[in-house]
Amino acid sequence: MARWKELPAGLDGRERRLVAELRRLKDHSGLSLAALAAKTGYSRSSWERYLNGKQSVPREAVEELAQLCGADPTRLVVLHDVVVQARQQAPAAAGATDGAAPRPETPAGPRVRTVPFRAFLAGIAAAVVVAFGAGLLTGGAWADDGADGGDAGTSGYRRGVAYDCKISRQQGALHAGHSTSREILLDTNSTGFDVVEVQCLLREHGFDPKSTDGLYGQDTKDAATRFQAAHGLVADGIVGPKTWAELRK
């Protein structure tokens, strides 16, 4: 897991939340900054700036990261658009008095924001609340309800527990009873029920990961690499959509 630098103190709260969500998604995927650069249209240095709050992250980068990590990009795009709207409004509000004659201070103290700007902020806040209520900004790859990953809505994962593999075939696809994932990316340091599912399916195919504890360690990665090589896939030990498809057969 990456040890992230503290975000700049002057970073807007909404942008701070967006960066935190991007960091969490990146950490859950187990991908390094170099791996992100290799799999997206953005360089390693760009990702370093985006994820450390040094530069505003483009909307396209948000979408690419979400898709690469097997998450619904809508969750992050909604928050990104809120951040952009707030960022665009702030200079407009600050520049409203640029070039105008100075206004005398009133005895009431600091100038109060105009009603239209307050209404704008209220609208933004309402949009965020609605998005959260609809599950657009939460759940999925970063469900934080006591579980360490797994399917959206799944809870109860505990580290250090060896889970049983309940292999069955549903609509022609193999399942082990822990996850229905087919796209989420898993690599070293990934945890949760998606990893348990992979470990069980690897064992079912004859590639024993030596554990079904939901921790994507070296033994699991070695087993996944051998499985990929045996099935004509890129043998990098990273479980993605193509590896999931073979595991489900």
pLDDT for 1-40, tens place per residue? 456 888 888 888 888 888 888 888 888 888 888 988 998 8
- The long-range contacts involving 218-227, CB below 8 angstroms and separated by at least 24 positions, are 218/188, 220/195, 221/187, 221/188, 223/199, 224/198, 227/202
| Model confidence pLDDT, tens digit, residues 207-246 | 999 999 999 999 999 999 999 999 999 999 999 999 999 9
Superfamily (CATH) of domain 168-247: PGBD-like superfamily/PGBD (1.10.101.10)
In the prediction, which pLDDT does 126 show?
53
- 187-200 average pLDDT score: 91
Q: Which fold has domain 13-96+114-142?
A: 434 Repressor (Amino-terminal Domain) (1.10.260)
Which of residues 200 and 79 earns the better pLDDT score? 200
CA–CA dist 159, 215 (Å, integer): 7
The DSSP line for 25-55 is HHHHHT--HHHHHHHSSS-HHHHHHHHTTSS
- 75-101 residues labelled b (16+ CB within 10 A) or e (exposed): bbbbbbebbbebeeeeeeeeeeeeeee
Domain boundaries, the chain: 13-96+114-142, 168-247
The answer to whether 13-96+114-142 and 168-247 have equal CATH topology is no
Pair 186, 195: CB distance under 8 Å: yes
Angle (CA) 158-163-167 rounded to 5° is 140
Report the alpha-carbon distance of residue 184 to residue 225 in Å, rounded: 17
Question: What is residue 30's predicted lDDT score, i.e. its pLDDT?
Answer: 85
CA–CA dist 213, 44 (Å, integer): 32
Which pLDDT value is given to residue 167? Answer: 94
> Would you tell me how many other CB atoms lie within 10 Å of the CB of residue 196?
27
DSSP, collapsed to helix, strand or coil, labels residue 148 as coil
Distance in angstroms (rounded) separating the CA atoms of residues 61 and 33: 13
Question: Tens digit of pLDDT for each residue in 132-176?
Answer: 443 433 333 333 333 333 333 335 888 889 999 999 999 899 999
